[in-house]
Every structure is written in C-alpha cells, then in structure tokens.
C-alpha cells in the first residue's frame, strides 16, 4: 500500500513514512492509494473475531508487510490490553432501535485512546527499529492531550510536549494530563484559547528547520494511523449486531468535530461495510451540518458548548472527504482549498451537494437539547450519556426512521464532563481511576502565548 497527498505533490510513501510525515509536505492530507475492497465472504469470515484480531486484519491491509505480521500483532495486542472491557468497544442496547458503542474504556476514558494507544506503540516501534528520536508536539482542547500522553509516557526514544489552554479544559482532563510524572512528558498550560495553541503548533511545524532540528512529530487527527485505527470499531459494532440479525439497516451516528471519526466510518463504508446512514452530529459549532444541508463550507462564530471537544470551526479532516467527493482529483482539491484560504468559504455545485447528502445525514444539536437528551435517557433507560454522546443520540432521534437500527458512538465517559452533567442535578460516582487523580500532585508550566516562549520551553525540554 502506498500513500499520497490530497494535493498530489508528494511522492508516494510507504505506511511508516506516511505516519511520520503527519501533515503532507504539500499542505494536503495523506490518503491510501487504493481503498481495499472487502468481499461479503471476508466480512462473514471476520464476524467472530475479537477486537484485536479484527484490528490486526484491517491494519494488515494498510501496512502491507512493512511491519512483519507477528510484530504488528504484538503492537495491536499491547495497544488494546490496556482497555478495561474485555470487548474493548462493547455495544450496549438502550431500546429496540438504539445501541450505544462505548468507545471510552481506554486509559483516559475517551475514544481517542483507541487510536493513540496504537500510535504511541507504533512510534516506539519505529524509534526502536530505526534508532531515531521522536519528539511529539501537540495542542489539545482536552481529550487528545491526555490520550497522547498516556500513549507514550515512559516510552524510550520518545518525548512529548502538549499545549493546552490555561484553565479552559475540564478539571478531569487537566488532572489526567498534569498528574503524569514521567520525565518524558511536558505540559505547557498556555494563557490563551485552544485556537491559539493550535496556531502556535502549526507555525512551529511550518518552521521546517526547527521541525527537523528537534525531530518534531504530530499526533493530531490528520495522522492517517488514527483514521485507520478508528475504522475497526465500525466493523466490530456491525458484527455484534449482525450476530443477532439486527444488521439489515444499521445507521451510525457520530458526534463530530474535526471530521476524523466520521471519516473513519466513511472509509469503512467504502471498504464494503454495509452502513445504511452515516449521521453527522454537531453541536452549535455547526459548520459541517451547514455544509451537508446547504453545500456551503464557511466557519461561523465560535460557540462554547457542553461538548467542548467538538467546539471546532475548521474541521482538519474535511479535505480527505473532499478528495473522494471530487473523484480523487488532487488539482480540484488544491483549487478548492486555495479558494477557502483566500475567501474563507467554499460553495459546492448542486450535483456534488446531492452526493454529499447521499453520503451523510446531518443535524446540529443546541445546548439545551444536549442537556435534555442527557436527562431523558437517564430517566428512561438509566443510562448516563456524556454531552458529546448525547449530541449523537439527539441527532439520531431526529433523523432515523422507524424500523431502522442506529449505533450511536459514545466518545467519552460522562465522568470527564461532570461540569455539564451536574447542571441537570445528576450525581455520578467517578470511576476509581478518575477519583484517584484528585490526590496526585500536578506538573505543568504556565506560559504566555507567544511562539518564542514556547520555543524556549521546547529547546530546554528536547
């Protein structure tokens, strides 16, 4: 398998080089040369595999022997052995038509562990094999940082620095990042917003001399390894329902921010998984909902919501979808992205909009509606949804027709977002792993939001 850029200006790369490159050098995103096509027989054969066995089969299609199968198996097994549930991503039934796919049983109680446990082990593997230094630099609005740190803490050959906006992440998210005492972890708490953190990172990565001198690597969701790892649970959930003959028409409802998770579902569908509807759920930051409804891609004003991990205006994985929407035409994608940069908006023609609307159904969930959904499902089904999951469930309630079955992706454990849950007077007990964080010392450095201050810190650390 080879990988190339959505903008067509990068020589084809192997799997490991694609992982290491992160953002493509021409500013595009890396995509596989061909999407593997799975036959009905293959799907049938995979139906009873464990999560790790299934992950191994799917990764093998994309890794193409660049990692020997026994070593890849070890990487996969190590990555999912840290999950608290034997099924890794269990499917829970709420009512006849609604299932929840619990993606939060990893070390940091959010779905990002599924990709970042694997990516952490993969980076350690590459560092060992090629004797190279890996310095990870990333920005987080909360979940990615904790998950990435947990994926590489204590690992030889790797250091990680994560920027988060000072006092603008949830309490549990902050504790998860800053109570890690491994020497290869640096938390910078930046006086500013998440967008400031993201901008600093982008500028430091764009400084090619600095990037090479300090061996900087990325962990954000533009990394193709994250997308591939996330396709696995779409298959896994489908097989769980198929066993009970409930998979005739399965919809997936996906709480969406950067378009990463839902793009993984789109890729699974393109590989041959018979998904009925892919439901794109947003919160009040609804640029993607508006794109699906109107064919206009244009950031609006930023809104703070109860689902902060989806408070995103420009979805970094969107370009991957555009690439397929435009028949894998890199020149067309380049032109669109240049137009977006110059004018701040893109409008697609009616025939393309039709394709978009056959690929996705979309719904944007309002703040109160999100909390209402949490209260409703808690009362009716004694099931506590976190605010991100609640957006997916609320969108499904709006879109799904009678007789269809919907799997709502649960992207976080409610304990991570107790600030929102408490607004509805629901009291939860924290899982012991989260409770224990409150007694641990914190390690973080508060810094101003200029590139030079961040650079000074990095130079000392790396």
Ligand X SMILES: *Cc1c(COP(=O)(O)O)cnc(C)c1O
Provide the binding-site residues for ligand X, judged by CB under 6 A: 110, 112, 143, 221, 255-261, 309-310, 388, 411-412
Contacts 24+ apart (CB under 8 A), 195-199: 195/302, 196/165, 196/449, 197/139, 197/140, 197/163, 197/164, 197/165, 197/449, 198/139
Catalytic residue among 112, 155, 277, 416: 112
Question: Which residue, 174 or 261, has its beta carbon nearer to ligand X?
Answer: 261
Q: How far is the CB of 212 from ligand X (least distance, A)?
A: 28
For residue 91, the cross-strand partners are 101
End-to-end Cα spacing for the chain: 33
Q: How far is the CB of 114 from ligand X (least distance, A)?
A: 11
Residue 60 CA to residue 375 CA, distance in Å, equals 42
Residue 253 CA to residue 269 CA, distance in Å, equals 14
Q: How far is the CB of 250 from ligand X (least distance, A)?
A: 20
Residues 65, 299 contacting (CB under 8 angstroms): no
* DSSP-H helix ranges across 153-247: 171-178, 194-206, 208-213, 224-243
* DSSP-H helix ranges across 50-104: 51-63, 69-80
Q: How far is the CB of 222 from ligand X (least distance, A)?
A: 10
Nearest to residue 126, comparing CAs of 50, 207, 215, 24? 215
Question: Which residue, 211 or 270, has its beta carbon nearer to ligand X?
Answer: 270
Question: Which residue, 184 or 309, has its beta carbon nearer to ligand X?
Answer: 309
Q: How far is the CB of 121 from ligand X (least distance, A)?
A: 20
Q: Is 112 a catalytic residue?
A: yes
Residue 144 CA to residue 220 CA, distance in Å, equals 8
Question: Which residue, 79 or 221, has its beta carbon nearer to ligand X?
Answer: 221
Look up residue 82 and give its two tokens: 């840290």
Residues 158, 123 contacting (CB under 8 angstroms): yes
Question: Which residue, 340 or 417, has its beta carbon nearer to ligand X?
Answer: 417
Question: Which residue, 21 or 310, has its beta carbon nearer to ligand X?
Answer: 310
Q: Enumerate residues 6+ apart whose C-beta is below 8 A from 234.
A: 252, 264, 265, 268, 269, 273, 275
Q: How far is the CB of 174 from ligand X (least distance, A)?
A: 15
Catalytic residues: 112
């Amino acid at each position: 398998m080879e990988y190339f850029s959505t903008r067509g200006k990068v020589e084809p790369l192997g799997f490991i080089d694609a992982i290491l490159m992160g953002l493509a050098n021409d500013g595009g995103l890396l995509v596989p040369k061909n999407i593997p096509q799975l036959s009905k027989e293959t799907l049938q054969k995979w139906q009873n595999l464990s999560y790790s066995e299934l992950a191994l089969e799917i990764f093998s299609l994309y890794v193409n022997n660049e990692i020997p199968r026994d070593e890849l198996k070890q990487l996969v097994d190590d990555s999912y052995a840290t999950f608290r549930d034997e099924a890794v991503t269990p499917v829970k039934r709420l009512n006849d038509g609604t299932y929840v796919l619990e993606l939060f049983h990893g070390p940091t109680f959010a779905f990002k562990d599924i990709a970042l446990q694997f990516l952490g082990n993969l980076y350690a593997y590459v560092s060992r094999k090629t004797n190279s230094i890996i310095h990870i630099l990333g920005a987080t609005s909360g979940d990615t940082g904790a998950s990435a740190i947990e994926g590489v803490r204590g690992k030889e050959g790797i250091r990680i620095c994560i920027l988060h906006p000072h006092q603008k992440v949830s309490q549990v998210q902050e504790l998860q990042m800053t109570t890690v005492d491994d020497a290869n972890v640096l938390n910078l708490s930046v006086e500013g917003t998440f967008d400031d953190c993201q901008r600093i990172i982008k500028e430091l990565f764009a400084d090619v001399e600095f990037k090479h001198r300090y061996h900087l690597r990325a962990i954000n969701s533009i990394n193709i390894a994250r997308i591939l790892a996330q396709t696995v649970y779409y298959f896994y959930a489908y097989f769980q329902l198929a066993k009970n003959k409930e998979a005739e028409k399965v919809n997936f409802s996906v709480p969406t921010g950067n378009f990463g998770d839902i793009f993984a579902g789109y890729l699974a569908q393109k590989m041959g998984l018979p998904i009925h509807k892919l439901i794109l759920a947003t919160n009040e930051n609804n640029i993607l909902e508006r794109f699906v409804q109107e064919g206009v891609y244009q950031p609006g004003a930023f809104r703070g919501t109860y689902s902060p991990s989806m408070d995103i205006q420009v979805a970094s994985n969107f370009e991957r979808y555009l690439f397929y929407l435009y028949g894998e035409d890199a020149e067309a994608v380049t032109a669109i992205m240049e137009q977006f940069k110059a004018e701040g908006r893109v409008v697609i023609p009616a025939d393309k909009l039709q394709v978009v609307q056959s690929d996705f159904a979309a719904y944007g969930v309002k703040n109160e509606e999100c909390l209402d959904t949490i209260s409703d499902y808690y009362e009716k089904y004694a099931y506590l949804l976190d605010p991100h999951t609640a957006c997916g469930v609320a969108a499904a309630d709006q879109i799904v027709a009678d007789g269809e079955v919907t799997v709502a992706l649960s992207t976080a454990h409610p304990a991570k977002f107790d600030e929102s849950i408490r607004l509805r007077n629901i009291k939860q007990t924290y899982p012991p792993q989260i409770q224990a964080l409150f007694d641990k010392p914190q390690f973080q450095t508060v810094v101003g939001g200029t590139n030079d201050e961040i650079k000074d810190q990095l130079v000392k650390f790396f």
